Homo-oligomer: A and B are copies of this chain.
Amino acid sequence: MAKKASSRLEWRINVPDGASKVLEPESGAVGKIWVGLKGCMGIIVLKVWRVLENAWHIGVADPRKVIHCIKVGLALSIVSLFYYMRPLYDDFGGNAMWAVMTVVVVFEYTVGATFYKCINRVIATFLAGALGVGIHLVAEQSGDQLKPIILGISVFLFASAATFSRFIPSVKARFDYGAMIFILTFSLVSVSGYRVVELFELAHLRLSTIAIGTSLCILVTMLFCPVWAGCELHHLIHQNMEKLADSLDGCVTEYFKENGSEKDLNKKMQGYKCVLNSKAAEESMANFARWEPTHGRFNFRHPWKQYLKIGASLRNCAYCIETLNSCISSEIQAPPCLRKHFSNKCMKASSYSINVLKELVITIVKMKKSSNIDVKVAEMNFAVEELVDALKSLPTTHFIATTTGEESTKAKAEGVEGSEHPSPIMKVLPLVKVVSMMVEIATRIGGVVNAVEELARLAEFKAAKDGKPKQNQPTDKLVADH
């Protein structure tokens, strides 16, 4: 007791402001738990709030996502009628569940993905159902002892084989979902065939409910604000091309600018990162796009694979721009007079390269062959040649000499030792890097031009009607390697 009293005393003494109050340990523990709970609640509320805020931004940024959610709700409500309406329920009974399930599982954001899943699901269900019933009939003949063994072995074999097929890239790209549904239906049919008497009835009901579910999905996804995977891919490619042009512009402007960095410029420069990271998105969209029927300006057999090639050539450019970007952020910069000397030519080369990219963007957006892409490529090549010539004429003549002369007199005037400031080649180095990157980028833009022209050929783009006669000048698309 004495100890307790003393500890209380200590307590009373140690707490500076609460000296008049006797603190009770019990209420303290409760209080701590209460504070802890409040803290936890606060964190949870904050997290939920952040997720909601995030969701709001996503919805505002792309209202089609909100529309997609409404479409899912709508499709589910319609398919629920099979339960709510007496006559429909009498036809299908509990099997109406399969229609609901199909809608939930099959309804995807893009039309292509929905088609892919629907077609896979229907065909796989049909095949697996037929196979399952066939094996069931065989097993039926072989007596009660052998029946579960035959069924079990067949499930094991087919499930293993179908699972393995999902590892084959060509199968995975087109029939991954189908393989899964095949396993599912086959095992359900052959396993439940062991107990269920009316197997045909079951298979027929399941197939028809799935057909109802899939056709409902296809109708809803195509009729209400459809989102076509093909269109998305088309947009992604030309947006990436624009981003690349902007990045190139931003990088070169940033390097040769006179004043401090602008905020907008910095954001603009980062566009190439999107290009670097869009491979997976492009591939999945191209996979889905080929399931889509003719829509808008796209035929059923539109060459979607060529978009992947354009994407790859864009990424090829983006690698170079990434390196260019690192040149810019390098600490040692070329002396101002040298930069001024190159500034114009570099800006010219970059602006002509950007012109080519923008022309390609227009070609893709309008889906019409450009009449003056050859001219623009020639201009780009010419500007790059000029840039290279400027570089060639640099060190042999007086330039380096005068610069070093200037610099050394300056250095002497400021009392800096000559050995400390960088040697001539180090001064030219950043510029040489930027110039050689510009040349490389122009070469790779040539690759993009080729890929887009191949697309125009495959997709039979019409010639643009702007009436300008096609100039017949000799232009080779690829800048010669320097």
Contact residues of A with B, CB < 8 Å? 51, 54-55, 58-59, 65-66, 68-70, 72-74, 76-77, 80, 83-84, 89, 94, 97, 100-101, 104-105, 148, 151-152, 155-157, 159-161, 163-165, 167-171, 180, 183-184, 187-188, 191-192, 194-196, 276-277, 279-280, 319-320, 322-323, 326, 329-332, 388, 391-396, 400, 422-426, 429, 432-433, 436-437, 440, 480-482
Set B97, B187, B436: member contacting A76, Cβ < 8 A: B187
- Given A55-B165, A187-B80, also A160-B279 (CB < 8 A): no
In the complex, the answer to whether B392 meets A425 with C-beta atoms within 8 Å is yes
In the complex, the answer to whether A330 meets B482 with C-beta atoms within 8 Å is yes
Set B194, B422, B481: member contacting A83, Cβ < 8 A: B194
User: Most chain-B Cβ atoms within 10 A of its Cβ — which of A65, A279, A425?
Assistant: A425
In the complex, the answer to whether B326 meets A440 with C-beta atoms within 8 Å is yes
- Given A100-B188, A425-B391, also A54-B280 (CB < 8 A): no
In the complex, the answer to whether B161 meets A69 with C-beta atoms within 8 Å is yes
Further contacts, 9 of them, CB under 8 A, given A84-B151, A100-B191: A59-B164, A72-B160, A97-B188, A104-B180, A105-B180, A323-B440, A330-B482, A395-B423, A425-B432
Q: Return chain B residues, CB-CB under 8 Å to A323.
A: 319-320, 323, 437, 440
In the complex, the answer to whether B482 meets A76 with C-beta atoms within 8 Å is no
Q: Return chain B residues, CB-CB under 8 Å to A156.
A: 73-74, 76-77
In the complex, the answer to whether A426 meets B482 with C-beta atoms within 8 Å is yes
Residue in chain B with minimal CB distance to A104: B184
Cα distance, A216 to B188, chains bound together (Å) = 17
Cα distance, A202 to B369, chains bound together (Å) = 62
Residue in chain B with minimal CB distance to A59: B164
CB distance from A38 to the nearest CB of B (A): 24
In the complex, the answer to whether A187 meets B482 with C-beta atoms within 8 Å is no
Cα distance, A170 to B280, chains bound together (Å) = 18
Q: Return chain B residues, CB-CB under 8 Å to A155.
A: 73, 76-77, 80
Residue in chain B with minimal CB distance to A164: B69
Cα distance, A94 to B197, chains bound together (Å) = 12
In the complex, the answer to whether B184 meets A105 with C-beta atoms within 8 Å is yes
Cα distance, A350 to B330, chains bound together (Å) = 21
In the complex, the answer to whether B319 meets A159 with C-beta atoms within 8 Å is no
Residue in chain B with minimal CB distance to A320: B323
In the complex, the answer to whether A54 meets B396 with C-beta atoms within 8 Å is no
In the complex, the answer to whether B160 meets A69 with C-beta atoms within 8 Å is yes
- Given A51-B171, A76-B155, A481-B330, also A100-B187 (CB < 8 A): yes
In the complex, the answer to whether B423 meets A429 with C-beta atoms within 8 Å is no
In the complex, the answer to whether B395 meets A482 with C-beta atoms within 8 Å is no
Cα distance, A419 to B198, chains bound together (Å) = 92
10 cross-chain pairs, A with B, having the tightest CB-CB distances, nearest first: A73-B156, A73-B160, A69-B160, A280-B280, A392-B423, A331-B481, A69-B163, A69-B164, A104-B184, A72-B163
